[in-house]
Structure 1
Amino acid sequence: SSGYKIEMLNNGISPLKGEEPGLEDLIKKVRSDGKFESTSDFSKIRDLDAVTLAIQTPFKDKGELEPDFGALEEGIRQIGKYLNEGILVVLESTITPGTTKNFAADILKEESGLIPGEDFALAHAPERVMVGRLIRNIREHDRIVGGINKESTDRAVELYTPVLTIGKIIPMDSTAAEVTKTAENTFRDLQIAAINELALYCEAMRINVYDVRTGIDSLKGEGITRAILYPGAGVGGHCLTKDTYHLERGVKISGSKLDYPAESASLYVLARKINDFMPQHMYNLTNEGLTSIGKKFNGSKIALLGWAFINNSDDTRNTPSEPYLDMVEKDGARVTIHDPYVSQDGSLKISQDLEESIKGADAIVIFTGHKQYLNIKASAIKKLSGHKHPVIIDGRNVIDPDAFIKEGFVYKGIGRGDKNYHEICNK
């Protein structure tokens, strides 16, 4: 299904349509210099000194901690068929702790007949990049590198060192590297859940979460930091939505006893549930807004702004917009979706015409903080909607509430308890 990407890459074109500074120029340069080739021919592995895998590792059943390693296993088996002695194999995928030493090593040994750590080197070096910052992150972020033995670690360090311009290599055991990657994403998810829960508290207490956040963030100096993030309409992407479960599974399959408060749920899994709840909260805010003007979802038109899970990107993996769409359509709403970076996601059609998407909308719901939404004008949006009191729901704090309230909008925003209960202006 991604064969078209091979052709694009070999033509010096990036298949990523979001904003990725420097990526397309780099692809063109290495192609013209003859230093890069894209292929689906696994047999070329025979000619390589090193091979890396970066394959998605979703979950079949998060409740049962059952991952879907089908694609990963197929990739490892294909590599194993063409291994030569002395090659280095590196898994960059985010994986359950213990996968490199056990799952991957066993498959490679089975397919090649070679001994991992003796006949070839095997390591885990998880990717640590963010959408929109790929090149910069690859060069500047510290790189975690962990082999199944010292020789494997040394080989992996040798591979990645020339790539870094600012970042440094941090060597460790392969399982420690796996825990590092899953834990850093789990911790970020926990941070997001903390501010999302605080936003819900602030709504209930009718105060502004952003004022509270500014106050908390002001405490600095002498090693003090609160590392507080921003609330939002939900967490998406391939990593944060499932890496908690890889970490949970890792300790479960380790074979060792976990000393933890009896009958207590995992703090990390609770954080996941809070972040997964945020699209439901967006639904609740929309419902409250529509109810205040005597409308229901059934028969209402909703303009959903933003399908990518992250701003200024075309990445739609596990977008929080999707569960929201499912909920409102189930209740009979007609939905138009706008995203300046995404024109289609599977069979779902997505408009790139903002004005056309908003025309006739009873509610405008902002799910993604794309730069195109930062300067939308209340008067223009109201005119396009054709309603005296359209509803606007801000899931990313990108608009000025007062400007919309003054134009007669019913405004609701995540964490904006100071504005969510305003009187409707009869302008």
Structure 2
Amino acid sequence: MSHKLENILKEKGPIKKIGVIGMGYVGIPAAALFADSDKFDHVLGFQRDSPSSGYKINMLNNGESPLKGEEPGLEELLKKITDAGKFECTPDFSRIAELDAITLAIQTPFADPKALEPDFGALKEGIRNVGKYLKPGMLVVLESTITPRTTESMAREILEEESGLKAGEDFALAHAPERVMVGRLLRNIQEHDRIVGGIDKASTDRAVELYSPVLTEGKVIPMSATAAEVTKTAENTFRDLQIAAANQLALYCEAMGINVYDVRAGIDSLKGEGITRAILWPGAGVGGHCLTKDTYHLERGVKLGTEALDYPQDAESIYVLARRVNDFMPVHMYNLTVAALKRINMDIKGAKIAMLGWAFINDSDDARNPPSEPYKDMILEAGAELKVHDPHVLSYPNVELLKDSNETIEGADAVVIFTGHKEYFSLKPEDIKKLTGKEHTVIIDGRNVIDPDIFINAGFVYKGIGRGDKNSHSITNQ
């Protein structure tokens, strides 16, 4: 093994100046925590000055967060580090040459999941920008979720081609996948264990040095770059599988006329040594950037593997099947809507639908790949009218998002709850009835937000995910 990189890093000294490419849900909190550490001198956040996202530069340099959900502590931390002069956002990628370490937090969607072809265009551009200004002794870390073997192949090749340097000899290269969820970004980075995988020991050790200072309760778990890539894609795939299991159980409970939440509580009650019965929550669908595509990164990694896969012949991957179940839930929400309207002798065509919640997760503005979108498409294709309310999402392509829930609900034939924003938990049947002006208004609950009996007793036609005990209730006349 060559000791060239180890000697270069020893001569360079500790990491003091860090860059983060990608000022989004991952990059912003990461940059803020790096800048808040007394181990590091300065942090640069890199953001293209584009028409769609260039506004973030001034906001961040003024200590303001462009993330518009509830993100505890982030705004205060950004103000602190900008006032201290420890953080700066810039569109000037040539300043990468100033750094000791740089991380890339760039989205990696799939252009065509069926063909297992990811869209690495933005990531490749980011890696090329790093390669152009790469200097000996720098550490490059991919935080983006990627197909296993990407760090060792694509990233390495681009960096070496652009810089003329050799990974593992002249510079360090690693994968340290993000493990955050919106609404708890800072806490997740500090408290979750950090997976760190370098292409060699020197790269791994340098990446451990980078991430250790920002951890409070979490610890660093070192491994190879490919193992780190598999860890990230697999943990999201497992979560998607668990959600799919809960969603399938909810569909079963509806078919059998029972309450899935009773069953869930019963399953969850079995605890003790050697017993693991963790069960997640069913709902209107799975959204976000990660769970909707990381299964396909894992599947693609198998295709690129060094050995043939030994698996039951002609059997579908249980992970891909789980994706299909979760993708079906917005369709099920549509089916519940149609069935509920039929109970009051209404057709979906021409019906007025009020959708509450566009973001894929509660109390957040994260609207990446929301399950609300396929539902919207089905509703409009069926000839219904649709109004959408979300208190956090500011805009979305080709969707008018209302900020007044009363305006959204007014005159509606059906109110459909897609996101568990906290304000929806205080919905009152008398208020909705006054706004709709209908004797019987349909209400579809995709997140177990409301008490069915209160609405049923007020004359509503109710249907909810997993509520087989209530979905065929008698209609109460008021």
TM-score range, shorter chain: over 0.9
1:344, CA displacement in angstroms?
A: 1.8
Give the Cα–Cα distance (whole angstroms) in 2 for the partners of residues 277 and 88 of structure 1: 42
Letter paired with 2:476: C
Aligned to 1:247: 298
Structure 2 residue 259 is matched with structure 1 residue 225: no
Q: 2:374 aligns with which of 289, 314, 323?
A: 323
Letter paired with 1:48: L
Structure 1: gaps spanning 5 or more residues:
none
Give the Cα–Cα distance (whole angstroms) in 2 for the partners of residues 175 and 2 of structure 1: 32
Map Cα deviations across residues 4-50 of structure 1 (whole Å, 9 max, x no partner): 01110001100001000000000000001110000111110111000
Map Cα deviations across residues 199-222 of structure 1 (whole Å, 9 max, x no partner): 000000000000000000000011
- Please list, as runs of the form range in 1=range in 2, the aligned pairs for 1:268-307 lying within 5 A after superposition: 268-307=319-358
Q: 2:187 aligns with which of 136, 141, 156?
A: 136
Aligned length: 427
1:320, CA displacement in angstroms?
A: 0.3
1:343, CA displacement in angstroms?
A: 3.1
Aligned to 1:17: 68
Q: 1:402 aligns with which of 428, 435, 453?
A: 453
Give the Cα–Cα distance (whole angstroms) in 2 for the partners of residues 349 and 23 of structure 1: 28
Aligned to 1:189: 240
SS of 1:219's equivalent? coil
1:347, CA displacement in angstroms?
A: 3.4
Structure 2 residue 417 is matched with structure 1 residue 359: no
Letter paired with 1:274: V
Structure 2 residue 80 is matched with structure 1 residue 35: no
Structure 2: gaps spanning 5 or more residues:
1-51
Instruction: Decide which moves more: 339-348 or 296-305.
Output: 339-348
Give yes or no for contact 1:304–1:337 (8 Å, CA) kept in 2. Answer: yes
Map Cα deviations across residues 179-236 of structure 1 (whole Å, 9 max, x no partner): 0000000000000000000000000000000000000000001131211011000000
- Please list, as runs of the form range in 1=range in 2, the aligned pairs for 1:6-405 lying within 5 A after superposition: 6-405=57-456
Structure 1 vs Structure 2 CA RMSD = 0.6
TM-score normalised according to structure 1 size:
0.99
1:60, CA displacement in angstroms?
A: 1.0
Give the Cα–Cα distance (whole angstroms) in 2 for the partners of residues 418 and 90 of structure 1: 51
Give the Cα–Cα distance (whole angstroms) in 1 for the partners of residues 429 and 276 of structure 2: 37
Give the Cα–Cα distance (whole angstroms) in 1 for the partners of residues 418 and 58 of structure 2: 33
Instruction: Decide which moves more: 218-227 or 366-375.
Output: 218-227
Give the Cα–Cα distance (whole angstroms) in 2 for the partners of residues 346 and 249 of structure 1: 30
1:379, CA displacement in angstroms?
A: 1.2
Question: How much identity, in percent, do the aligned residues show?
Answer: 72
Letter paired with 2:135: N
TM-score normalised according to structure 2 size:
0.89
Map Cα deviations across residues 43-75 of structure 1 (whole Å, 9 max, x no partner): 101110000000000011100101100000000
Give the Cα–Cα distance (whole angstroms) in 2 for the partners of residues 348 and 288 of structure 1: 25
1:254, CA displacement in angstroms?
A: 1.4
Map Cα deviations across residues 262-292 of structure 1 (whole Å, 9 max, x no partner): 1100000000000000000000000000011
SS of 1:397's equivalent? coil
Give yes or no for contact 1:193–1:275 (8 Å, CA) kept in 2. Answer: yes
Letter paired with 1:385: T
Give yes or no for contact 1:343–1:349 (8 Å, CA) kept in 2. Answer: no
1:241, CA displacement in angstroms?
A: 0.1
